[in-house]
Amino acid sequence: YKQVAEALGKPGATRAVGSACGANPLPIVLPCHRVVRTDGGLGGYRGGLEAKRYLLDLERED
């Protein structure tokens, strides 16, 4: 969330980025599942953490 906030020129807006990702109505088209917490944790995901984990694992596979 921190990197996205910084890229937007709003380094203190990490919670806003998290909220925006959580409200994303098109989570596959706009891949917010790739946004993770600064500490490496998954954070949240509108489709649920199991779905987020699945999508991230799927992208890691060759």
- Which amino acid type is present at position 23? A
Nearest to 32 by CA among 21, 42, 23: 21
Q: Residue 31 belongs to what domain range?
A: 2-60
What's the confidence (pLDDT) of residue 27? 67
Q: Count structural domains, the chain.
A: 1
Q: pLDDT tens across 2-59, in order?
A: 888 999 999 999 999 888 888 877 766 777 788 888 888 888 887 888 988 898 888 8
Cα torsion through 18, 20, 25, 28, rounded to 10: -50
Q: Tell me the catalytic residues.
A: 32
The first and second tokens of residue 21, run together, are 């990702």
Cα–Cα distance between 31 and 36 in angstroms, integer?
12
Q: For the whole prediction, is pTM greater than 0.75?
A: no
